[in-house]
Every structure is written in C-alpha cells, then in structure tokens.
Amino acid sequence: MRVHPIYILRLTGLLDGLSLLVLVSIAMPLKYMWGIDKAVTVTGSIHGGIFCLYALAIFYSAIRVRWSLLWPAAALLAAFVPFGNFYLDRKLKKAQDTYPLKPFNNALLVYGIVFFFVL
C-alpha cells in the first residue's frame, strides 16, 4: 500500500506543530523563568530536526502531487505560526482526495537528497 505524499506532509506538519508548541510553551518558560537552559537546547534541537523533515515533506509533496506554489508556501508559512500546522492539516485533509498521484521521476529525489546533504 502506498502512502499519499500529502498524508506524509500532514503527519510531519502535526509533529512540527506539536514540537513548536512544546518549545514555546514549556521549554522557553523553563529557560527564562527558572534558568534551565538545557530545556531549550534539547527541545530546540528536536524541533529543528523535525522541521527539516517537514521541509523535505513539503518538497516531496509539491513534486509528487505537482502543486502550484500556493500550497508549499502556505505549508512553510504555517510552520512559523503557532497552531498554523493544525489549521493547515484540516485544509490538507479535505484537499488530499482531490490530488491524485502523478508519475514521479526518482532522479529528482536523488538529486535533491544529494544536494541537501552536500550543503
């Protein structure tokens, strides 16, 4: 069974939104109110890794579904707004069935991964 790229985007978006909320609502108060600097270091690192996966999921979904620039831009913007990913998830859930999978050139994914790791 193949997983739809929008489902992968939704899943990583929810993880990114949850990690952003944990970072902002738990880790930052621990740092600035109680002086526990390690909370932001650990939570920020985890959030940064999840954000990188989310950015890759946006790229993969945009290529695989052949979106215009509107959806990827909205997905990227939602990553920086608290609760933005949760709102986007509802919109993507409604739109997921309207976007069938298009044929995909695997060379684009390989070149993208190589370029991403070289930087």
Q: Residue 99 burial by CB count (10 A; 0-12/13-18/19+): exposed, middle or buried?
A: middle
Q: What is the pLDDT of residues 26-65, one digit of tens each?
A: 999 999 999 999 999 999 999 999 999 999 999 888 888 8
**CA angle in degrees (0–180, nearest 5) for 43-48-54:** 125
Helix and strand numbers (H, E) in the chain are: 6, 0
How much is the pTM?
A: 0.80
